[in-house]
């Protein structure tokens, strides 16, 4: 055996295990010297709140939570007084946020006997509390006037506000959420209305980042991940489909409306009985069994390393390896130190997807795993993009980029940064972009921003061999780091750079915005319904290979005969 440590040790950054309450899968932890404020559990009632407002509010809370933790590390003395968490169970909540002011409407979703024990407020309470960094008194935000007194009283009990000042506040115009800095246009309500949660393809549905049944989704996702690590692809795909259907379902699933689920696609009897079990017990036995399975824990941990897929994970497991520490020893890697030289990938003409290159990328992923497993907040994603585009300006003027991936779908924290780049000139852009990926990576390396290239592709020696547009994207999957001279801790980040000619820029943006299931369904829709072929590197008509060259993102949807779906509503995966 190439390792000696006892098998029982388990690392803290193994595949994170979804929490059962609250949409985030990662716990936010304050430094231990800080006194924690009382936790306020907030339930957002989906009914009467528009799906995009719903996901905006949920993202607001998630983002606030992580910013609060970051700030508390930087300035422990000024940690905010607002400690909130979302719950998907009204009965567990301290505060219920709702868009309705009618008792009758509320009662359709929440028992009156429960409602009377809660503080029931308008969404503005959540926004203003977040803006003010403190849980504001409920008085001016009462949603249901029938229980105005109960709301204030219940809130006072939870908050123990006797000592707090009788702070009055304005219920002025609703404020912008602070993280929404991306240039995407706002959501068009008429477009959203023409999407349908019953549709078979996720590109016809509206899928928010956090859905009203997110804890159920997280539970089913455990089973999907279980099938994934075992290589059971068909089964995994049916769980992915079930998840994507539930992501778009706009109502909280209860025993009362359970039968309505039969009208949704891809939810067979097995799934329905799992959902039923979840409604009764808050758990799905199959999911809990998988979570508790040591083999699942090992395989899940292994596939978090770049370069290790389910197949390699099982091979490593069969060698007797169980933990990431054992993997480190097996690959002779020192944590935090990566001696691997992958920049040589830049020297070769052909893409280096050899076994050797893969092994190198595994070693890098392992050595840097403590950094790479940390998520990236939105402002840093933006800063990385700005830095890279500034460097690109030294290599080629006139380029533009869109940050795609989870960031563009509204995730407050990303696992990596996906940047799609083109040249702004439609006519000469294609020539300008060719070979640019390699040049940019070289420049970033020389400037100390990129330390490793895990994978390079789309570099073709013989242009004549190209029969299609789909190999026209140049890609570099890199490791980025802020250079030493800047006053911050060096954290390694994964950054994907995708170069596209202007004609395929927007298809590349759509492809790389994801989510994976949304992308998959775009391809399927194009093929099954439109006789077309779609992927990140282009759209073409099957029968005569006619190419489409969309000049906006809307054009991509139009070419495929689809209503535009806003990026933040493309979260068709868990
Ligand atoms: N994608 C792709 N080809 C790849 C890898 C990814 O087309 N070789 C697309 C997928 O559609 C995916 C999107 O790019 O949805 C972004 O992928 P990824 O960065 O892996 O995931 P995110 O959704 O951005 O989420 P995160 O990075 O935060 O995990
Ligand atoms: Mn990403
Ligand atoms: Mn990526």
Q: Please tell me if the CB atom of residue 534 comes closer than 6 angstroms to any atom of ligand 1.
A: no
Q: Check whether 32 has a pLDDT greater than 70.
A: no
Q: Check whether 554 has a pLDDT greater than 80.
A: yes
- Residue 240: the pLDDT is 98
Q: Please tell me if the CB atom of residue 411 comes closer than 6 angstroms to any atom of ligand 1.
A: yes
3 state SS of 385: helix
What ligand 1 atom has the least distance to the C-alpha of 515? 15
For a pLDDT cut of 70, what percent of the chain falls above it?
Answer: 84
More confident residue, 3 or 95: 95
What ligand 1 atom has the least distance to the C-alpha of 519? 11
Long-range contacts of 27-33 (CB under 8 A, 24+ apart): 28/65, 28/66, 28/68, 28/69, 29/69, 30/68, 30/69, 30/72, 30/79, 31/72, 31/73, 31/76, 33/76
Q: What is the mean pLDDT of residues 200-210?
A: 98
**H or E element: which one contains 272?**
helix 269-281
3 state SS of 520: helix
Instruction: State whether 45 and 143 are in the same domain.
Output: yes
**Among 102, 129, 157, which residue terminates a domain?**
157
Q: Check whether 171 has a pLDDT greater than 70.
A: no
Q: What is the mean pLDDT of residues 410-431?
A: 96
Pick the range with the lowest mean pLDDT from 13-17, 316-320, 549-553: 13-17
The alpha carbon of 274 and the centre of ligand 2 are apart by a number of angstroms equal to 30
Domain that holds residue 93: 40-157
Instruction: State whether 224 and 273 are in the same domain.
Output: yes
Residue 415 lies in a domain: no
Write the DSSP symbol of residue 495. E
Q: Give the ligand at the shortest distance from the Cα of 415.
A: 1
Residue 98 lies in a domain: yes
Instruction: State whether 147 and 59 are in the same domain.
Output: yes
Q: What is the Cα–Cα distance from 36 to 84, expressed in whole angstroms?
A: 11
Q: Check whether 24 has a pLDDT greater than 80.
A: no
pLDDT band at 130 (very low <50, low <70, confident <90, very high): confident
Q: Give the ligand at the shortest distance from the Cα of 496.
A: 3
Q: Please tell me if the CB atom of residue 511 comes closer than 6 angstroms to any atom of ligand 1.
A: yes
Instruction: State whether 210 and 150 are in the same domain.
Output: no
Name the residue at shortest CA distance from atom 23 of ligand 1.
Answer: 406
Residue 466 lies in a domain: no
**Among 233, 263, 292, which residue terminates a domain?**
292
Instruction: Provide the domain count of the chain.
Output: 2
Q: Is the dihedral of CA 555, 559, 563, 566 positive or negative?
A: negative
CA distance between the termini of the chain: 38
Instruction: State whether 129 and 210 are in the same domain.
Output: no
CATH code at position 73: 3.40.50.10190
pLDDT tens digits along 494-518: 999 999 999 999 999 999 999 999 9
Q: What is the Cα–Cα distance from 251 to 248, expressed in whole angstroms?
A: 9
What residues are neighbours of ligand 3 (ion), with CB under 5 Å? 416, 418, 496
More confident residue, 54 or 535: 535
Q: Please tell me if the CB atom of residue 307 comes closer than 6 angstroms to any atom of ligand 1.
A: no
Instruction: State whether 204 and 137 are in the same domain.
Output: no
Phi, psi of 172 (to 5 degrees): -70, -165
- Residue 460: the pLDDT is 52
Pick the range with the lowest mean pLDDT from 71-75, 109-113, 183-187, 326-330: 71-75
pLDDT tens digits along 349-408: 544 567 888 899 999 999 999 999 999 999 999 999 999 999 999 999 999 999 999 999
Q: What is the mean pLDDT of residues 252-270?
A: 97
Instruction: State whether 272 and 213 are in the same domain.
Output: yes
Chain centre distance of CA 145: 37
Write the DSSP symbol of residue 32. T
Q: What angle do CA 246, 247, 250 make, to 5 degrees?
A: 80
Instruction: State whether 210 and 281 are in the same domain.
Output: yes
Q: Please tell me if the CB atom of residue 414 comes closer than 6 angstroms to any atom of ligand 1.
A: yes
Q: What is the Cα–Cα distance from 406 to 209, expressed in whole angstroms?
A: 9
Instruction: State whether 137 and 225 are in the same domain.
Output: no
More confident residue, 250 or 86: 250
Residue 379 lies in a domain: no
How large is the angle between the packed helices 123-132 and 51-74, nearest 10 degrees? 20
Q: What is the Cα–Cα distance from 222 to 312, expressed in whole angstroms?
A: 20
Other CB atoms closer than 10 Å to residue 12's CB: what's the count?
Answer: 7
Nearest in space to 143 (alpha carbons), one of 173, 119, 107, 167: 119
Residue 222 lies in a domain: yes
Please give the torsion angle defined by the CA atoms of residues 528, 529, 533 and 535, in that order, rounded to the nearest 10 degrees. Answer: -90
Q: What is the Cα–Cα distance from 14 to 29, expressed in whole angstroms?
A: 17
Query: DSSP secondary structure string, 86-115?
Result: E-S-GGG-SEEE-S---HHHHHTTS-HHHH
Instruction: State whether 234 and 145 are in the same domain.
Output: no
Residue 25 lies in a domain: no
pLDDT tens digits along 265-290: 999 999 999 999 999 999 999 999 99
Q: What is the Cα–Cα distance from 179 to 158, expressed in whole angstroms?
A: 29
CB of 199 closer than 8 Å to CB of 205: yes
Residue 549 lies in a domain: no
Q: Please tell me if the CB atom of residue 418 comes closer than 6 angstroms to any atom of ligand 1.
A: yes
CATH code at position 204: 1.10.150.110
Name the residue at shortest CA distance from atom 25 of ligand 1.
Answer: 406
Residue 266 lies in a domain: yes
pLDDT band at 308 (very low <50, low <70, confident <90, very high): very high
Q: Please tell me if the CB atom of residue 63 comes closer than 6 angstroms to any atom of ligand 1.
A: no
3 state SS of 173: coil
Nearest in space to 206 (alpha carbons), one of 519, 559, 564, 511: 564
More confident residue, 46 or 567: 567
Instruction: State whether 113 and 217 are in the same domain.
Output: no
Q: Please tell me if the CB atom of residue 297 comes closer than 6 angstroms to any atom of ligand 1.
A: no
Q: What is the mean pLDDT of residues 61-80?
A: 78
CB of 506 closer than 8 Å to CB of 521: no
Pick the range with the lowest mean pLDDT from 129-133, 268-272, 305-309: 129-133
The alpha carbon of 355 and the centre of ligand 1 are apart by a number of angstroms equal to 23
What ligand 1 atom has the least distance to the C-alpha of 416? 27
Instruction: State whether 51 and 149 are in the same domain.
Output: yes
- What is this structure's pTM? 0.71
- Residue 92: the pLDDT is 86
pLDDT tens digits along 226-244: 999 999 999 999 999 999 9
- Residue 428: the pLDDT is 94
Name the residue at shortest CA distance from atom 18 of ligand 1.
Answer: 405
Q: What is the Cα–Cα distance from 506 to 295, expressed in whole angstroms?
A: 41
User: What is the overall mean pLDDT for the chain?
Assistant: 85
Q: Give the ligand at the shortest distance from the Cα of 411.
A: 1
**Among 130, 157, 184, which residue terminates a domain?**
157
């Amino acid at each position: 055996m190439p390792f000696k440590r006892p098998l029982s040790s388990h690392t803290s950054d193994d595949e994170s295990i979804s929490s059962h309450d609250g949409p985030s899968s990662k716990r936010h932890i304050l430094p231990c010297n800080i006194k924690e404020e009382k936790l306020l559990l907030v339930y957002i009632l989906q009914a009467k709140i528009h799906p995009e407002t719903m996901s905006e509010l949920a993202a607001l809370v998630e983002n606030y939570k992580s910013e609060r933790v970051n700030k508390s590390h930087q300035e422990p003395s000024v940690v905010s007084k607002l400690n909130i968490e979302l719950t998907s169970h009204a009965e567990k909540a301290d505060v219920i946020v709702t868009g309705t002011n009618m008792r009758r409407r509320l009662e359709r979703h929440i028992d009156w006997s429960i409602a009377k024990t809660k503080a029931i407020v308008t969404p503005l309470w959540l926004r203003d509390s977040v803006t003010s960094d403190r849980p504001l008194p409920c008085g001016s935000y009462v949603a249901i006037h029938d229980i105005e007194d109960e709301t204030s009283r219940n809130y006072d009990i939870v908050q123990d506000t006797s000592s707090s000042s009788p702070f009055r506040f304005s219920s002025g115009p609703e404020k912008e959420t602070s993280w929404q800095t991306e240039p995407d246009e706002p959501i068009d309500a008429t477009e959203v209305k023409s999407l349908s949660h019953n549709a078979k393809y996720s590109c016809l549905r509206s899928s928010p980042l956090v859905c009203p049944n997110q804890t159920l989704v997280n539970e089913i996702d455990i089973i999907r991940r279980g099938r994934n690590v075992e290589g059971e692809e068909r089964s995994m795909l049916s769980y992915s489909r079930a998840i994507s259907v539930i992501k778009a379902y706009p109502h909280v699933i209860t025993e009362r409306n359970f039968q309505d689920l039969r009208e949704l696609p891809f939810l067979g009897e097995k799934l329905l009985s799992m959902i039923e079990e979840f409604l009764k017990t808050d758990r799905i036995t199959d999911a809990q069994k998988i979570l508790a399975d040591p083999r699942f824990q090992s395989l899940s941990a292994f596939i978090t390393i770049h370069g290790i897929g389910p197949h390699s994970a099982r091979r490593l497991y069969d060698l007797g390896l169980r933990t990431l520490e054992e993997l480190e020893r097996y690959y002779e890697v020192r944590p935090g130190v990566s001696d691997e030289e992958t920049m040589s990938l830049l020297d070769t003409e052909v893409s280096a997807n050899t076994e050797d290159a893969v092994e190198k990328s595994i070693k890098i992923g392992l050595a840097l795993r403590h950094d790479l497993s940390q998520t990236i907040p939105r402002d840093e994603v933006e800063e990385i993009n700005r830095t890279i585009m500034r460097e690109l300006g030294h290599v080629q003027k006139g380029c533009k980029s869109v940050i795609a991936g989870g960031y563009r779908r509204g995730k407050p924290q990303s696992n990596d940064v996906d940047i799609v780049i083109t040249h702004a000139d439609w006519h000469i852009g294609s020539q300008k972009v060719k070979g640019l990926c390699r040049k940019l990576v070289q420049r970033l390396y020389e400037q100390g921003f990129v330390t490793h290239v895990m994978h390079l592709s789309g570099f073709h020696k013989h242009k004549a061999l190209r029969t299609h547009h789909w190999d026209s994207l140049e890609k570099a999957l890199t490791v980025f780091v802020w250079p030493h001279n800047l006053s911050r801790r060096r954290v390694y980040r994964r950054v994907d750079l995708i170069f596209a000619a202007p004609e395929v820029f927007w298809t590349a943006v759509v492809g790389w915005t994801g989510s994976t299931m949304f992308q998959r369904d775009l391809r399927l829709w194009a093929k099954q319904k439109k006789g077309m072929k779609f992927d990140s590197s282009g759209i073409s008509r099957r029968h005569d290979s006619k190419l489409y060259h969309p000049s906006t993102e809307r054009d991509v949807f139009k070419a495929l005969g689809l209503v535009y779906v806003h990026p933040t509503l493309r979260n068709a995966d868990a």
